[in-house]
Amino acid sequence: MNKLTKLLGSELMATDTFIRAITHRSAEGKHNERMEFLGDSVLGLIITTELYQRIPRASEGYLSRLRASLVNENALAGIASELAIGDFLRLGQGELKSGGFRRKSIIADAFEAIVGCIYLEQGMESAKAFVLTAYGERLDNLPTEDSLKDPKSRLQEFLQSRGYDLPEYNLIDTQGEAHRQTFTAECVIPKLNIRTTGTSGSRRKAEQEAAELAFQQVTAK
């Protein structure tokens, strides 16, 4: 028996609410966007409450980063894949042909819609039980606070703790048309003779990439 069926039961999966939860907007009939909207809030509350109770001494910043690491498209798509939610999706012909049942955004949204479905049909406690079971070891093996900080923050804190000046970031190249540009930024730490570059579709991400490379260098010294 499929894991999702074991968790939900055939009775719930036969309801109109569940059918709607697994119906993508590309298919005919009522789709799951409104239910995904509801499920997103229910899921956020469940995960936030669980983190708050599990880690009583965690700062607000750490809790926020933890929640963001657990409730994002990649994390949700990973869980949806483990539950084989794609096997249940109702998609239009175009999405079927293009492999929509494997697309991260679609299966992640469907997972949230299913959470919304459980909430509507069975209440918050059932939704909570489903979410905590689905997340499983992800909640038992939470990442450390340092590992969740963005590269620029980690680099800045490391340098400050050792009395060094803050790194400098410069945009050194921009290519492509306005709506599809590629940015190259550099991170410079003069006193340590470190200069790294990063390239990405946004200036912020390019700076983060450069900062990550610089962080690797300073921690290796």
The Cα 182–Cα 203 span in angstroms is 8
Nearest to 22 by CA among 77, 101, 136: 101
Residue 84 neighbours by CB distance under 10 Å: 14
Residue 25 neighbours by CB distance under 10 Å: 14
Tokens 């260098």 -> residue? 217
Asked if 24 and 100 touch (Cβ cutoff 8 Å), the reply is yes
Q: Which of 50, 95, 112, 207 is catalytic?
A: 112
Annotated binding site for Mg(2+): which residue ranges?
36, 109, 112
Handedness of CA 180, 99, 8, 69 (dihedral sign): negative
Annotated binding site: which residue ranges?
36, 109, 112
Q: Is 165 a catalytic residue?
A: no
Which helix H or strand E contains 72, and what residues bound it?
none
Q: Give the strand order in the sheet containing 194-200.
A: 168-175, 182-189, 194-200
Q: Which of 40, 95, 186, 207 is catalytic?
A: 40
Q: Is 137 a catalytic residue?
A: no
Residues known to be catalytic: 40, 112
